[in-house]
Amino acid sequence: MENYKITLLKGDGIGPEIVDQAVKVLNKAAEKFDFTVTYDEALLGGCAIDATGVPLPQETIDKCKASDSVILGAVGGPKWDNQPGNNRPEAGLLGIRGALGLFANLRPSVIFGPLKSASPIKDEIIGDDMDIMIVRELTGGIYFGQRGREEDAAWDTEKYSVAEVERIARVAFDLAMKRNKKLTSVDKANVLESSRLWRETVIRVSKDYPEVELNHMYVDNCAMQLVRNPKQFDVIVTSNIFGDILSDEASMIAGSIGMLASASLSGGKLGLYEPIHGSAPDIAGLGIANPLATILSVAMMLRYSLSQPEAAQAIETAVAKVLEQNRTPDIYEDGMNKVSCEQMGDLVCEAL
């Protein structure tokens, strides 16, 4: 029987609530599919600042590196807004990505049938089976470039190496091969030198994947096309900052940011799995947070890090079934059962 060691970074705001429900579902999946899970907890973000003075203690890095995978809730909140930039909760998030070598961020944007009416996009535009995978480079670009500030000026530098672009491109091409063999590379090559290097490198890598249809799109056009005709996309690969923006846009096409999972992967099996939404401190402790993005992140963890694809599919199927009649307040519609965060976790476990 396989046993997996998982580090939990519950974080701030609603983080602890949603992670608790994800753990509940993971335990049920382990029981059903005959594996076991051992958990360890560590601090990241604002809670780490409160306890240790820094957003990413070395102990957290060590625990994560010693585990098979990591589940993260969310970090940040107005409580820590007065911290200097290098000691804000978000700095801990960037730091753990760098420390674990998590260079590839996978953000699926999938329409669950019962939630089609929640999308702001017309049914005839979405279709019945919208399923987009955005592959975002996670440890380079403007978020990790040189930065500075003077009295009346500030700067952040966008920089990419050929090696950084090549490795994220190969992740995207490999995913495209397993899906519909179609890849869109998004850049701003008409303006940015870093984007010109990005495009040149992706084209070179494409020679190793002759079965994949590759096309290129400027980021501003891609933002427009996502709402005009999202069905044209299958896998999208792009830089850190462009991926950050486009994946949030794609999440709203799917109906709610509270439904979108993500995976951050290294070159090996280790991954960090988290919802793409924030810590929502305004609703923390009220029991109304939507845990489904975190639960779906667990499904991604089972698929990409723990080699348990049947368990992953079972969780996704259970979520779809529960959504037919049950909703947390963020996705509630008349005629549905309005349920709490904990109740939603229980219902997914029952459906499993």
Query: Rounded to an integer, what distance in angstroms lies between the CA atom of residue 69 and that of residue 100?
Result: 11
Backbone φ and ψ for 88, nearest 5 degrees, come out as -80, 160
Any catalytic annotation for residue 188? Answer: yes
- DSSP β-ladder status, 153-156 and 261-265: unpaired
**Count of CB atoms within 10 A of residue 177's CB?**
14
Any catalytic annotation for residue 187? Answer: no
Could you say which of 39, 248, 321, 346 is catalytic?
248
Query: What type of residue is 239?
Result: S
Could you say which of 62, 123, 220, 282 is catalytic?
220
Could you say which of 4, 10, 12, 143 is catalytic?
143
Any catalytic annotation for residue 220? Answer: yes
Could you say which of 24, 187, 188, 330 is catalytic?
188
Could you say which of 68, 187, 234, 244 is catalytic?
244
List the beta bridge partners of residue 108.
Answer: 133
- DSSP β-ladder status, 153-156 and 213-218: unpaired
Q: For the stretch 293-305, what's the b/e string if a residue is b when 16 or more beta carbons lie within 10 angstroms of its beta carbon?
A: bbbbbbbbbbbbb
Tokens standing for residue 185? 């590379």
Any catalytic annotation for residue 79? Answer: no
| Exposure on the CB side of residue 323, measured as CA atoms within 13 A | 25
Query: Rounded to an integer, what distance in angstroms lies between the CA atom of residue 107 and that of residue 104?
Result: 10
Any catalytic annotation for residue 143? Answer: yes
Residues annotated catalytic, as ranges: 143, 188, 220, 244, 248
